[in-house]
Structure 1
Amino acid sequence: MEIKEKFGQKVKELREQKGFSIEQLANISNVDRNYISDIEKGKRNVSIIIIEKIILALDTDFTSFFSDNSFKK
């Protein structure tokens, strides 16, 4: 699995845990909903700025987001 897919799965998992729709996450993060949908599908190379917006909107931080086994080979 590519890093884009791993990142997208993690975003979707946290979004669903928070009870957010894609639309709600888009509004909170100020990132287009279609872009978020593509991220969750692993179709986007995401910039660090967008990563930060999404992570903050999900009320987490970089360390917590990337610290679990989701990103290990």
Structure 2
Amino acid sequence: MDVRQRLSANLRRLRLEQGWSQEDYADRAGVHRTYVSDIERGSRNPTITVVEKLAAPFALTASDLLA
């Protein structure tokens, strides 16, 4: 599994565990809902800065989200 696939799977799993819609999560992370959708589908390659923003609502580090 490559890093984009790991990010996609981890992001979706964590978001669903919290019971958040993509829109709820996107608001918490400060990104657009379609961006979250694209990442979860593996069609985006976010920067490390965006990965940090994506990790913050889960109180995780970027490396935790990518593990």
Q: Give me the TM-score of the superposition, normalised by structure 2.
A: 0.86
Q: CA RMSD of the aligned region, Å?
A: 1.5
* Cα contact 2:12–2:40 (8 A) shared by 1: yes
Which is higher, the Rg of structure 1 or of structure 2? Answer: 1
Q: How does 1:1-73 map to 2 (within 5 A)?
A: 1-67=1-67
Structure 1 letter corresponding to 2:44: R
Deviation at 1:6, TM superposition (A): 1.6
Q: Give me the TM-score of the superposition, normalised by structure 1.
A: 0.80
Distance 1:33 1:61, change over 3 A: same
The percentage of counterpart residues that share the same residue type is 30
Partner Cα separation in structure 2 for residue 34 and residue 28 of structure 1: 14
User: Please, which moves more after superposition, 25-34 or 55-64?
Assistant: 55-64
Gapped runs of 5+ residues in structure 2? none
Size of the alignment, in residue pairs? 67
Structure 1 letter corresponding to 2:42: G
* Cα contact 1:55–1:62 (8 A) shared by 2: yes
Paired residue secondary structure (1:42)? coil
